[in-house]
Structure formats: structure tokens, C-alpha cells
Amino acid sequence: MAQPGWIGGEIVAWAQATARTLLADLDNRLSHVEAVGRRAEWVGQHVCDEDRVPLLAAAYLHDIGYAAQLRVTGLHPLDGARWLRAQGVDERVCNLVAYHSGARFEAEERGLVDDLEAFDPEEGPAMDALIFADMTTARDGSYVSFQVRLTDILIRYPPSDPVHRAMVRAGPVLRGSIDRTLERLAAAGQPMYGSAALQGSAGFAAILMGAPLAR
């Protein structure tokens, strides 16, 4: 598998190919990842140039830690980020993957905070956009509201599971990232309702109203 030595446009193509290879046996996971990538590509049109490529690469790579050959700790953002660092991938991409979608909370639940802190926390528009893309995309790649996405996670993992406990705690933080992304899109002049570019045939209003999008 070819490895990128620096950050650049070619890393996005590498990220897509890498995700398809590592997640080939996890059909739903791959569908989710590719849909998150497409969503990030759209949102990425409205972030600054220095954020765009790390955002897109991280969107395609954010769940590679679920691949059986990469699993070490069971904290998929950490396992994925460690593997990416070993491949020489740009640190910003590694950091985005490491901390995406409330990973810090799950690290606390699993006793892995010291391990996660080998990576630098990423904050700002790129992380907000990555969380937006991930947390409004269902397991099967369909686009849903944040409320529907979070509820699905809490149903799939029982209250005793560290994922469930982490997501209960992370919910307000994730909601903040989504709200900030929506505000940035609005400031960029993105239509807030019925955007074909963002949702395909579904309405953007669903995200704001907390309802599932049409499938």
C-alpha cells in the first residue's frame, strides 16, 4: 500500500483507497465512511485552504481503527491514529482521527487518556466539520439528524458499555461542533433548506429540526 510522505492533495485519494482496503470486510462501516467523506467534501468547500485537505483525509480515515488488523486498544480513534502515524501520515490528520467525535470521553471511560495524549487535541473548524460529517451520517451511509445518530449509538451499545457512557457525556460537545458548522455554512451563504448540494434529494431542515432525513 503506497504511503504519503507529506500532506497534499494526493493524501485524499490515498485515504479513500486505504479505507476501502482496510474496511473491505465491514460493509456497513465502509458505507458510513464513504458517505462521511462525501459529506466532508461538501463542507470542505467552506473551510480555509489549510484545513481542507486534513479534513477530507481524516473523514475517509476516521474509522479505520475498526479494522481487525489495526485493533489494539479497542478505542478505534486511537488505534487508527497510531497506525496512520506509523505510516508517516501528516500529524494533523492523525490528530483529527485520534480525537474525532468525542474520542476523549471514550478514552476516559477506557482508562486510555495517557495513550490518547500522545496526539495533540485538534480544535476549530476542521474538527467541527469532521464531527458534523460523522455525526449526521448513519451506519448505512444515509444522512440523518444528530439526534437520530446519537440515539442509534445509545441503543446499539448498552449502558454498561464505555461507548454508551462516553456518548452520553459527549453529546453536548458534539452538538456544539454541529451548531458551529451550521453557523459557518450559513455565514458562507449556504442555503439552509433544501440544499441539493448537501443532502441530495433530502432537506437540510431535518438536521436543524432533529428529524431523520428522507432516505
The answer to whether the CB of 24 falls within 8 A of the CB of 70 is: no
Residue 211: is its pLDDT beyond 70? no
Site of grid cell 449502558: 159
Question: At residue 117, what are phi and psi to the nearest 5 degrees?
Answer: -70, 0
Q: Taking all residues of the chain, what is their mean pLDDT, rounded to a whole number?
A: 87
Domain with 129, as residue range(s), is 10-209
pTM, full prediction: 0.86
Question: At residue 137, what are phi and psi to the nearest 5 degrees?
Answer: -125, 120
Residue 6: is its pLDDT beyond 70? no
> Is residue 208 very low, low, confident or very high in pLDDT (cuts 50, 70, 90)?
very low
- 110 contacts: CB under 8 Å, gap ≥ 6: 73, 74, 75, 162
pLDDT in tens, 57-110: 999 999 999 999 999 999 999 999 999 999 999 999 999 999 999 999 999 999
Residue 215: its pLDDT value, please? Answer: 28
The answer to whether the CB of 80 falls within 8 A of the CB of 70 is: yes
Q: What angle do CA 165, 170, 174 make, to 5 degrees?
A: 145
Question: CATH number, domain at 53?
Answer: 1.10.3210
Residue 4: its pLDDT value, please? Answer: 53
pLDDT in tens, 124-164: 999 999 999 999 999 999 999 999 999 999 999 999 999 99
Quick one: 106 exposed, middle or buried, by C-beta within 10 A (0-12, 13-18, 19+)? buried
Q: Is residue 1 part of a domain?
A: no
Instruction: Tell which residue, 81, 78, 35, 71, has the closest CA to residue 166.
Output: 78
pLDDT in tens, 51-62: 999 999 999 999
C-alpha cell at 74: 479497542
Q: Is residue 2 part of a domain?
A: no
Q: Is residue 135 part of a domain?
A: yes
Share of the chain above pLDDT 70, in %: 84
CA dist 215 and 205 (Å) reads 14
CA dist 64 and 90 (Å) reads 16
Q: Is residue 134 part of a domain?
A: yes
Q: Is residue 4 part of a domain?
A: no
Q: Is residue 71 part of a domain?
A: yes
C-alpha cell at 210: 432533529
Residue 89: its pLDDT value, please? Answer: 95
Q: Is residue 214 part of a domain?
A: no
> How many independent structural domains does the chain possess?
1
Q: Would you give the end-to-end CA distance of the chain in angstroms?
A: 35
> Is residue 188 very low, low, confident or very high in pLDDT (cuts 50, 70, 90)?
confident
Q: Is residue 108 part of a domain?
A: yes
